[in-house]
């Protein structure tokens, strides 16, 4: 019997606003689509959190015994600036600024994306299609939507008729928006004059003369609308109806709303059973933004070469930290929170490593079956990783109690405990075994440098500038750069 037949998984469905028992369309097979990155810059930590969240979902479904086809796209065309329908293509703009070909931009940042997710120990998706690899299919689905009366051509561009669709369906049901409110809050823009209604969105855009990413179509040389690629690739690889569609909370409207409309207009079917949305990251209590400098890239976090956190944290610890919050909650990155996670991570790994040395008894006073089910109960409750981690720390307490002989464990239960911890730590949470020493060394290095920073501050307060400068200079020779700021002194490793 497969585990999914024993465990009742519930998923929070964004479209109903409720947790629902998960019942896939095909009993033992799951189709899951997650919106991937637009590859015009280095992947940022907010993106990483979304993909780690859905890696957790992928891993748990596989652990339960489902055969999962996980599709995650690469957007390499059609995504205009500010998610609008005017302006430059994000990739084309980057190519112009760097004076390289657009596909060089795509290659560079796709490689970065894969490298970073590999460091976070994410499993690769089953299929990773690209927008440019499916231009023909996008043109064909536009023809279908036009033929069914839900789209129209205007001056070489094709737009989806939102009001026509809303007359039969409900445009806005995922995001909870009413079309009347959208109309009341919309100003007609000159650049949108080809549209019948301001709410309509582009399926195909005629390329301006300067637009270098363009393809021939029955309507014009142009490019597909951003929303269209996901409808095409999800239906091609998962069918007209599939189980799970995921992405960041910011994609609910308009991107996912448009996907629903396109899918229903083309096939007459509601495309997705369960909509899932991961929440955002903040940094030191503020929104992450490159423009304000309150931003940190994964590599800057791993190396410690940053002014925001000021200390290196391993991908393992960063992943563990992210999983200590539920995927639907906002999570704040800070040095203090990451440091606490690092200590907790090391406690877990030390406890796991010590299981083989636990004293064995003829019988157990530790209820392994009850504890194990409590771990499954956490994951069955909408992939509640923070509750699961709390249950894993309960196991740490029990392991310590067995060491002290206030609890007993049999040989059979000891083996089961080790296997269960392995399953939850490594197979489901996706943590890497064997990083404890590295993380401990990092923690020791950080503590040593912090001690030297305090000694240097005392020397400066005592006007002993020779000692203060000596500490700074000798650390710099070792590749450790000190930076004095209004909030104190931080360091980075060069």
Angle at 206 between CA 247 and CA 268, to 5 degrees: 50
Confidence of residue 435 (pLDDT cuts 50, 70, 90): low
What angle (nearest 5°) sits at the alpha carbon of residue 65, between those of residues 351 and 34? 90
Closest CA to 283 of 314, 312, 308, 246: 308
Q: What is the C-alpha R_g of the chain?
A: 26
CA atoms within 13 A on the CB side of 448: 9
Q: List the strands of the sheet with 281-283, edge to edge.
A: 286-287, 281-283, 331-333
As annotated, the binding site for ATP includes 290
**Using one digit for the tens of pLDDT, what is the confidence trace for 102-143?**
999 999 999 999 999 999 999 999 999 999 999 999 999 999
**Which of 125, 100, 138 lies closest to 226, judged by CA?**
138
Give the closest residue to 232 by CA, choosing from 164, 91, 133. 133
Longest dimension (CA), the chain: 82
Instruction: Determine the pLDDT at residue 128.
Output: 98
CA distance linking residue 268 with residue 257, whole number of Å: 16
For 478, phi then psi, to 5°, come to -85, 0
Q: Kindly state the average pLDDT of the residues 442-466.
A: 82
Annotated binding site for Zn(2+): 35, 230, 255, 259
Return the pLDDT at 189.
Answer: 46
Q: In which band, very low, low, confident or very high, does the pLDDT at 447 lie, cut at 50, 70 and 90? A: confident
> What is the percentage of the chain residues whose pLDDT exceeds 90?
74
Strand, helix or coil for residue 11: strand
29 contact partners, CB below 8 Å, separation of at least 6:
66, 67, 68, 69
The SS3 of residue 69 is strand
Per-residue pLDDT at 437 exceeds 50:
no
- Rounded to an integer, what distance in angstroms lies between the CA atom of residue 473 and that of residue 245? 53
Cβ atoms of 302 and 315 within 8 Å: the answer is: yes
pLDDT at 494: 54
Least confident of 256-265, 451-460, 471-480: 471-480
426 φ, ψ (degrees, to nearest 5): -105, -45
- The predicted structure's pLDDT at residue 438: 44
- Half-sphere exposure (Cβ direction) of 377: Cα atoms closer than 13 Å: 10
Give the distance, in angstroms, between the CA of residue 225 and the centroid of all CA atoms in the same chain.
23
pTM score? 0.87
The pLDDT of residue 41: 92
Phi-psi group of 479: left, alpha or beta (phi > 0 → left; psi -120 to 50 → alpha; rest → beta)? left
Non-local (6+) Cβ contacts of 55 within 8 A are: 117, 120, 122, 123, 430
pLDDT of residue 270: 97
Q: Which residue has the tokens 């629902």?
A: 20
SS3 call for 308: coil
Q: Hey, CA dihedral for 256, 258, 261, 265, is it positive or negative?
A: negative
Residue 300 clears pLDDT 60, i.e. is over it: yes
Q: Which whole number is the average pLDDT over 4-25?
A: 98
For 418-432, write each residue's pLDDT tens digit: 999 999 999 999 999
By CB atoms closer than 10 A (0-12, 13-18, 19+), residue 286 is: exposed
pLDDT at 291: 61
Give the residue numbers of the binding site: 35, 230, 255, 259, 290
List CB contacts of 370: < 8 A, sequence separation 6 or more.
none
Which band of pLDDT confidence, cut at 50, 70 and 90, is reported for residue 436? very low
Can you say how many angstroms the Cα of residue 459 is from the centroid of all Cα atoms in its chain? 45
Of 227, 210, 196, give the one whose Cα is nearest residue 85. 227
pLDDT of residue 486: 61
> Of 228, 237, 217, 269, which is closest to residue 129 (Cα–Cα)?
237
Least confident range of 189-203, 243-257, 346-360: 189-203
Q: Does residue 24 carry a pLDDT above 60?
A: yes
Beta strands at 222-224 and 201-206: parallel, antiparallel or unpaired:
antiparallel
Between these two residues, 78 and 144, which has the higher pLDDT value? 144
Highest averaged pLDDT of the listed ranges 114-118, 434-438, 475-479? 114-118
Can you tell me whether residue 167 is helix, strand or coil?
coil
pLDDT value for 88: 83
Residue 478 has pLDDT above 90, yes or no: no
Residue with tokens 């302006």: 87
Model pLDDT for residues 313-339, shown as the tens digit of each residue = 999 999 999 999 999 999 999 999 999
Cβ(258)–Cβ(160) under 8 Å?
yes
- Alpha helices in 99-160, H assignment, sequence order: 102-119, 135-147
pLDDT of residue 262: 97
What is the chain's mean pLDDT, rounded?
Answer: 92
Q: Which residue has the higher pLDDT, 81 or 448?
A: 448
User: Which residues are CB-contacts of 258 (< 8 A; sequence separation ≥ 6)?
Assistant: 160, 201, 227
Query: What is the predicted pLDDT for the residue at 459?
Result: 84
Q: Find the mean pLDDT for residues 82-108.
A: 87
Whole-number pLDDT of residue 483: 78
What pLDDT shows up at residue 480? 85
- What is the tens place of the pLDDT at every residue in 56-71? 999 999 999 999 999 9
- Give the pLDDT of residue 441: 55
Helix (H, G, I), strand (E, B) or coil at 22: coil
Is the model more confident about 412 or about 288? 412
The C-alpha angle 450, 451, 452, rounded to 5 degrees, equals 90
């Amino acid at each position: 019997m497969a585990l999914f037949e024993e465990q009742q998984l519930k998923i929070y469905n964004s479209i109903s606003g409720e947790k629902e028992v998960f019942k896939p369309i095909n009993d033992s097979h799951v189709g899951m689509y997650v919106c991937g990155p637009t590859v015009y810059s280095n992947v940022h930590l907010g993106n990483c959190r979304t993909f780690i969240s859905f890696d957790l979902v992928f891993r748990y479904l596989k652990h339960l015994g489902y055969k999962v086809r996980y599709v995650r796209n690469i957007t390499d065309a059609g995504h205009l600036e500010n998610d609008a329908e005017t302006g430059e293509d994000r990739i084309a703009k980057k190519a112009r600024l760097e004076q390289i070909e657009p596909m060089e931009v795509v290659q560079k940042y796709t490689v970065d994306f894969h490298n970073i997710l590999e460091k976070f120990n994410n499993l690769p998706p089953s299929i990773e299609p690209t927008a440019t690899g499916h231009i023909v299919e996008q043109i064909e689905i536009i023809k279908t939507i036009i033929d069914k009366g839900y789209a129209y051509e205007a001056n070489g561009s094709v737009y989806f008729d939102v009001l026509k669709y809303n007359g039969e369906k409900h445009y806005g049901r995922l995001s909870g928006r009413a079309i009347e409110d959208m109309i009341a809050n919309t100003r007609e823009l000159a650049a949108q004059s080809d549209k019948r209604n301001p709410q309509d969105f582009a399926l195909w855009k005629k390329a301006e003369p300067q637009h270098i990413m363009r393809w021939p179509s029955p309507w014009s040389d142009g490019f597909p609308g951003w929303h269209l690629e996901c409808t095409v690739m999800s239906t091609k690889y998962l069918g007209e109806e599939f189980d799970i569609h995921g992405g960041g909370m910011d994609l609910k409207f308009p991107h996912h709303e448009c996907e629903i409309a396109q899918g229903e207009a083309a096939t007459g079917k509601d495309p997705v059973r369960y909509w899932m949305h991961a929440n955002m990251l903040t940094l030191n209590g503020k929104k992450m933004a490159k423009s304000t400098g309150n931003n940190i890239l994964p590599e800057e976090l791993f190396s410690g070469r940053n002014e925001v956190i000021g200390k290196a944290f391993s991908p393992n610890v960063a992943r563990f930290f992210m999983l200590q919050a539920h995927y639907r909650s906002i999570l704040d990155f800070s040095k203090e929170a990451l440091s606490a996670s690092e200590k907790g991570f090391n406690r877990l790994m030390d406890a796991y490593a010590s299981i083989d040395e636990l004293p064995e008894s003829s019988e157990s006073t530790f209820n392994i079956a009850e504890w194990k089910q409590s771990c499954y109960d956490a994951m069955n409750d909408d992939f509640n990783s923070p509750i699961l981690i709390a249950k894993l720390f309960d196991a740490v307490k029990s392991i310590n109690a067995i060491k002290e002989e206030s609890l007993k464990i049999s040989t059979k239960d000891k083996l089961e405990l080790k296997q269960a911890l392995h399953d939850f730590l490594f197979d489901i949470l996706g943590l890497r075994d064997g990083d404890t020493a590295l993380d401990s060394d990092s923690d020791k290095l950080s503590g040593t440098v912090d001690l030297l920073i305090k000694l240097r501050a005392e020397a400066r307060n005592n006007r002993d500038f020779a000692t203060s400068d000596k500490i700074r200079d000798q650390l710099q020779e070792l590749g450790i750069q000190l930076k004095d700021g209004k909030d104190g002194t931080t360091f980075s490793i060069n």
